[in-house]
Structure 1
Amino acid sequence: MKGRLLIVIFISICFIAGSCNVSSVQGSRYNFSSLDSVIQGWVSKEYYPGASICVVKNDSVIFQKNYGSYTPNTKVYVASAGKWVAAAVIGAVVDSTSLDWDDPVEKWLPEFKGDAKGKILLRQLLSHTSGVRPYLPEPRVDNYNHLDSAIIEILPLDTVFTPGSRFQYGGLAMQIAGRMAEVAMGKEFETLFQELLAQPLEMKNSHFTPINTDGGHAPMLGGGLCTTLNDYIHFLSMIYHDGMYNDKRIISAQTVKEMQADQVKDAIIPSNNSDNYVAKGLGQSHNGIYGLGEWRELIDKKTGEAYQISSPGWAGAYPWINKRENVYGFFIAHVVGASSKEDGFSSFYGSPVISRTVSEIVKGHPLVVKQGRVEVGNGSLYYEEAGTGAPVIFVHGHSLDHRMWDEQFSVLAKKYRVIRYDLRGYGISSSQTEDYQFTHAEDLVTLMDSLHIKKAHIVGLSLGGFITADMLAYFPDRMLSAFLASGNIRKSKGPSEPMTPEEARVRDKEIAALKEKGVDVMKKEWFEGLMKSGGSQRERMRESLWQMIDEWDAWQPLHKEVRVVAGLDAIEKLKKNHPDVPALIVEGHSSGNRFSKEPPILQYLPNGKLKVIDDCGHMLNMERPEEFNAALEEFLKNVQ
């Protein structure tokens, strides 16, 4: 459906009394069935009892829908989605008083003088780089009536790292920041929120401090906001307009800019992804992951500026703004039970599915896609699925991820059940380790088992082709066919021969040399090599190919990777078994791309054939997608 825009007419559903207070759009040219399918699936599986969503583009609502019992005015505790709002309240205090982002704690809270925490800067408290532990030690919880009481509880706690040296996601440090704002303004935080933000933004159903018979609780800035879809959309409108709402200045444009700027800078980000939502949820490898109270999801690599920002909550609420697409939106819900489900769904890390699906829709090529995770050994694989019919599984190449199949995924979904996924160690699947032995083929079989697929057409390119060859060798009974592009048998040792001490020493030298050379240089050379192999149409893939390589974390060349491909082990199996699975070896032919006219693997495949695509290099599915797709569809049709 790429290039074709489906017209969906809907009647001002956001503007029935009390709905999203932005300009109406009577007829939308966008088809939101794919996003609707995703959310409806979550509610149907009872992850959420209900939900609401509103998406705005160019100040007009382009999609709004309620699920279950939810309405635009349903009050929900949105957990960390409140961090963005809390930081904005403090930003408004910075605008109104002498409080400054670089003020140390002790300037406003004298009880911290002589304590290491007294030197922490306000900006560090709001960017998870303060060194204050993320939460109170168990079993204590922050349920005091006022922030001054909460501060007394925090004061005796030791810091866990030097301020500014590390990033550790949490919420306790924000209590200190809130108390600094209280002292600077001479009012309690809930009053600050109501007077500086809630009232001018018409957030009539939002609060940090619930009013009840026991006097309420401390306003937990990091996770205590209760709000509604309507209210939060007003907040997003203000941020989107650089601090303006209904032609009135709420916070300064400079404060909005400061909140969105990289506040992590040179701080160390943990290599495990538990604290790095941007890496685990979006597959992004940049270090500038956080501002003040908000995640910097997507950034411009040239300027370093964030063009997509967000503040997801563990319970599922997800607000975001995408400046490039002039879109902002809010999904409000509260997960039932744990945030992570047995099938791999996470209400926190799964949030970007919403913004990504919206992005695909506004670009004009929506597709009803199911996203999920499958547990494999000590990790998990991210996958996407669409369409119905015989299953076709796409396996990507080295340094890339599932996005390399964009030109095939939507096309094949018209006739087949298509699945694409990120290999372990790539994209947003789990990272690899040097000491855990696995093979990509075994992971693929686990993926198939989890999706209840007995047999599938396997389509692989480069590393994906090596994995497809491994499937032919070890799991031919799980294959309907094999389509191997730019790679079949990898002529290297397999898992039967673990790395020797001498090989380990050689590998250490290679890694040291690469580090000295620089990973960015290596990526550029690798990218240019792939581009150079191409033919006359290679420029069409430049941007998307580089984006994947640039975002790749390059773990494999920087570590002693276990033998994840069978290699020579697979050859021995093929020699013995000669599987009769229908197979097509596809190669590109150009002046910069050499290949064997008689691939050795064909002598072991009685139903194997070779096809050459002229004027094409290694990345033939991206360089010449039309010819590649035609060859693939013709092959699959004949197999059936």
Structure 2
Amino acid sequence: MKNRLLIAAFVSICFLSGSCKISSGQGSRYNFSSLDSVIQGWVDKGYYPGASICVVKNDTVIFQKNYRDYTPDTKVYVASAGKWVAAAVIGAVVDRTDLGWDDPVEKWLPEFKDDAKGKILLRQLLSHTSGVRPYLPEPRVDNYNHLDSAVTEILPLDTIFTPGTRFEYGGLAMQIAGRMAEVAMGEEFETLFQELLAQPLEMKNSHFTPINTDGGHAPMLGGGLCTTMNDYLHFLSMIYHDGMYNGKQIISAETVKEMQADQVKGAIIPSNDSDNYVAKGLGQSHNGIYGLGEWRELIDKKTGEAYQISSPGWAGAYPWINKHDKVYGFFISHVTGSSAKEDGFSSFFGSPVISRTVSEILKGKPLVVKQGRINVGNGSLYYEEAGQGEPIIFVHGHSLDHRMWDEQFSVFAKKYHVIRYDLRGYGISSSQTEDYQFMHVEDLVTLMDSLHIKKAHIVGLSLGGFITADMLAYFPDRMLSAFLASGNIRKSKGPSEPMTKEEAKVRDDEIAALKKKGVEVMKKEWFEGLMKSGGSQRERMRVPLWQMIDEWDAWQPLHKEVRVVAGLDAIEELKKSHPAVPALIVEGHSSDNKFSKNPPILEYLPNGKLKIIEDCGHMMNMERPEEFNAALEEFLINIEQ
């Protein structure tokens, strides 16, 4: 495939000695090209000046790569990725002193005794349920050298809700928690970090004390950690092994368990997505979203325990542990410049694509994919097929190619014979010409004939949906079912009405205007429109969607394209036949993506139904693949019954 990198060599990190020494590896049996492509795309776009990533499974590195000038020892301020480490420092103090998770602030800080904040519990300070405002009110900033000064500044501030009743993400309350640990242990927080965690974990390049020349980073527990990839991996190894590192118990297993337990409990979680990273970043709807200094990303529904935990930072650092996969990893970088903001990219909410991609790489057996070409008229179509069972043919959208079905192809290949292909004029199939009349639906039937497929489930999105509608109109006898997403009947003239001279003149003017504006500008506008239509999960598709649009040759908008879908002609055919093929019209609903509750095509489909996927835009299969796949699977199962 185009621009796909195969990674042939990896490195291993040896944890047995307690240090993070890189040695040559024998190569991984996993193909991390998809993850590499995502990260390389971020760096190429200028979101990050460079980056490093390491993925560890069963204490063996299965993927490690550096981007641009980054190395595993590059020092980076990792913002909220430090919350996890800071909470662990306090946990180590809990293990060694009388400090307890249910201790109120006033027990250790007597200046709070006559203040409502004095009743706040230590666990609430570390779980964003304390009622302490998230940050200091402007124009004040957290630029203190000592936590006692920070706490003095916090003392006169009013709480914003009753402790334990709400969840509001921020970092200010952690300053109070850190000061409680200082008093309990009799040492300043940086000393506690160095003695209790950094030294036994061999985190030689990590500190919470700010470097003034780095732009005024405050010694905030929730945002001031400077570290390296190698150092942070030692910390993750310790947490992964229930507090054990290099044969020594750094923090107790009970403390690790408490940190990972649900600390939000009955607190109200605001509907504002900016406070609910688990909902916006991962699409999860559970309420137990936070522990002590760490997010509880994925939850075992039977036990309620978190099996994936993390601590992403706004600047790009993303550490995570997945117990089911027996994996932990760390992506380290620090966002710079304005390109990410201009593109609407969020390093914070975009982070989970890393862990999600790793899980997908680990879970699936390598697909045996057959690639080929079939002749159609004056050209050829590229296709891929895999699996066994009833055939499913995936038909892609305009400006895209067969890769848009990456999240469906391997999933449904486990039970079905799946086929995906590039339409003529797209991907690596043959180009179009202005003077050659053909129909995409006829090409699809030719593909089926060449692969000896009598009938198939046809799944199309956008332009692929138009083509699926054409199949219903002209070739219903070749269909087991029709799944039409974000498109069914194109409301335009069909090939029965050739382009008039007046229409040709209009197209010439449109093409001239487009050439003047620039194809790259057009592509960017088209891409941004698709992104804008999405809901809270749209960041998941940013990189692969742009890769396809960027590589598209844009032949169609630059030429007087013949009418390759039936459009309104298909309506006339459907009126005559009313095909009994099982059909599902699927639409996404978001603030920027509207839909018709009564799509006209259903008038002609006696076995047709409508399904809406909420919080979702036009490219639903890429934006919300889990929901899309579930809808398709349910549809297919109901047909079988």
- TM above 0.5, one fold? yes
Larger displacement relative to structure 2 (141-150 or 476-485)? 476-485
Letter in 2 for 1:282: L
Partner of 1:48: 48
Partner of 1:468: 487
Partner of 2:209: 209
Distance in structure 1 (CA, Å) of the matches to 2:83 and 2:334: 16
Is structure 2 residue 575 aligned with structure 1 residue 570? no
Deviations 1:58-96, CA, capped at 9 Å, x for gaps:
010000010010000000000000000000000000000
Is structure 2 residue 9 aligned with structure 1 residue 10? yes
Distance in structure 2 (CA, Å) of the matches to 1:160 and 1:199: 38
Give how far 1:257 is off. Answer: 0.1
Unaligned runs of 5+ in 2: 368-394, 428-460, 473-479, 495-562, 571-578, 611-628
Is structure 2 residue 426 aligned with structure 1 residue 407? no
Partner of 1:335: 335
Report 1:236-251 matches (<5 A): 236-251=236-251
Distance in structure 2 (CA, Å) of the matches to 1:73 and 1:387: 43
The 3-state SS of whatever aligns with 1:134 is coil
Letter in 1 for 2:176: I
Alpha carbons 2:104, 2:118 under 8 Å: kept: yes
The 3-state SS of whatever aligns with 2:11 is coil
Give how far 1:304 is off. Answer: 0.3
Report 1:350-499 matches (<5 A): 350-364=350-364, 391=401, 406-407=411-412, 415=422, 465=484, 467-469=486-488, 471-473=489-491, 486-487=582-583
Deviations 1:579-628, CA, capped at 9 Å, x for gaps:
xxxxxx8xxxxxxxxx64xx799xxxxxxxxxxxxxxxx98952797999
Alpha carbons 1:23, 1:59 under 8 Å: kept: no
Deviations 1:307-349, CA, capped at 9 Å, x for gaps:
0000000011000000001000000001113595333321110
Letter in 1 for 2:178: G
The 3-state SS of whatever aligns with 2:180 is helix
Alpha carbons 1:93, 1:184 under 8 Å: kept: yes
Report 1:285-296 matches (<5 A): 285-296=285-296
Partner of 2:61: 61
Partner of 1:374: none
The 3-state SS of whatever aligns with 1:190 is helix
The 3-state SS of whatever aligns with 1:308 is strand
Distance in structure 1 (CA, Å) of the matches to 2:101 and 2:637: 54
96 and 624 in structure 1: CA distance in 2 versus 1, 3 angstrom threshold: same
Give how far 1:363 is off. Answer: 1.4
Alpha carbons 2:126, 2:173 under 8 Å: kept: yes
Alpha carbons 2:13, 2:60 under 8 Å: kept: no
Distance in structure 1 (CA, Å) of the matches to 2:181 and 2:37: 43
Alpha carbons 1:339, 1:347 under 8 Å: kept: no
Partner of 1:622: 633
Letter in 1 for 2:75: K
Give how far 1:171 is off. Answer: 0.2
105 and 339 in structure 1: CA distance in 2 versus 1, 3 angstrom threshold: farther
Letter in 2 for 1:314: W
Distance in structure 2 (CA, Å) of the matches to 1:213 and 1:389: 46
Alpha carbons 1:169, 1:275 under 8 Å: kept: yes
Deviations 1:338-374, CA, capped at 9 Å, x for gaps:
595333321110000000110011113689xxxxxxx
Partner of 2:115: 115
Alpha carbons 2:11, 2:62 under 8 Å: kept: no
Distance in structure 2 (CA, Å) of the matches to 1:11 and 1:340: 29
Root-mean-square deviation (CA), in Å? 4.7
73 and 113 in structure 1: CA distance in 2 versus 1, 3 angstrom threshold: same
Distance in structure 2 (CA, Å) of the matches to 1:388 and 1:29: 35
Report 1:188-337 matches (<5 A): 188-210=188-210, 219-337=219-337
Larger displacement relative to structure 2 (205-214 or 35-44)? 205-214
The 3-state SS of whatever aligns with 1:348 is helix
Distance in structure 1 (CA, Å) of the matches to 2:263 and 2:179: 21
Letter in 1 for 2:490: L
Letter in 2 for 1:97: T
The 3-state SS of whatever aligns with 1:180 is helix
Alpha carbons 2:493, 2:566 under 8 Å: kept: no
Distance in structure 1 (CA, Å) of the matches to 2:402 and 2:8: 34
Report 1:132-171 matches (<5 A): 132-171=132-171
Deviations 1:560-586, CA, capped at 9 Å, x for gaps:
x999542446369x99xxxxxxxxx8x
Give how far 1:465 is off. Answer: 3.8
Letter in 1 for 2:412: E
Deviations 1:147-197, CA, capped at 9 Å, x for gaps:
000001000000000000000000000000000000000000000000000
Letter in 2 for 1:269: I
627 and 28 in structure 1: CA distance in 2 versus 1, 3 angstrom threshold: farther
Alpha carbons 1:128, 1:170 under 8 Å: kept: yes
Partner of 2:456: none
Alpha carbons 2:465, 2:486 under 8 Å: kept: no
TM-score (norm 2): 0.63
Unaligned runs of 5+ in 1: 368-384, 396-401, 419-446, 495-551, 576-584, 586-594, 602-617, 629-640
257 and 479 in structure 1: CA distance in 2 versus 1, 3 angstrom threshold: farther
The 3-state SS of whatever aligns with 1:349 is helix
Letter in 2 for 1:190: E
Larger displacement relative to structure 2 (477-486 or 254-263)? 477-486
Distance in structure 2 (CA, Å) of the matches to 1:240 and 1:488: 44
Partner of 1:508: none
Partner of 2:183: 183
280 and 107 in structure 1: CA distance in 2 versus 1, 3 angstrom threshold: same
151 and 403 in structure 1: CA distance in 2 versus 1, 3 angstrom threshold: farther
404 and 7 in structure 1: CA distance in 2 versus 1, 3 angstrom threshold: closer
Letter in 1 for 2:9: F
The 3-state SS of whatever aligns with 1:341 is helix
Give how far 1:274 is off. Answer: 1.2
Give how far 1:468 is off. Answer: 2.9
Give how far 1:488 is off. Answer: 5.4
Alpha carbons 2:142, 2:219 under 8 Å: kept: no
Alpha carbons 2:263, 2:291 under 8 Å: kept: yes
24 and 266 in structure 1: CA distance in 2 versus 1, 3 angstrom threshold: farther
Distance in structure 1 (CA, Å) of the matches to 2:243 and 2:225: 20
The 3-state SS of whatever aligns with 1:297 is strand
Alpha carbons 1:74, 1:229 under 8 Å: kept: yes
Distance in structure 1 (CA, Å) of the matches to 2:485 and 2:464: 21
* Bigger Cα Rg: 2
Distance in structure 2 (CA, Å) of the matches to 1:365 and 1:63: 18
Identity %: 70
122 and 132 in structure 1: CA distance in 2 versus 1, 3 angstrom threshold: same
Alpha carbons 1:273, 1:280 under 8 Å: kept: yes
Alpha carbons 1:24, 1:61 under 8 Å: kept: no
The 3-state SS of whatever aligns with 2:341 is coil
Partner of 2:625: none
Distance in structure 1 (CA, Å) of the matches to 2:40 and 2:88: 32
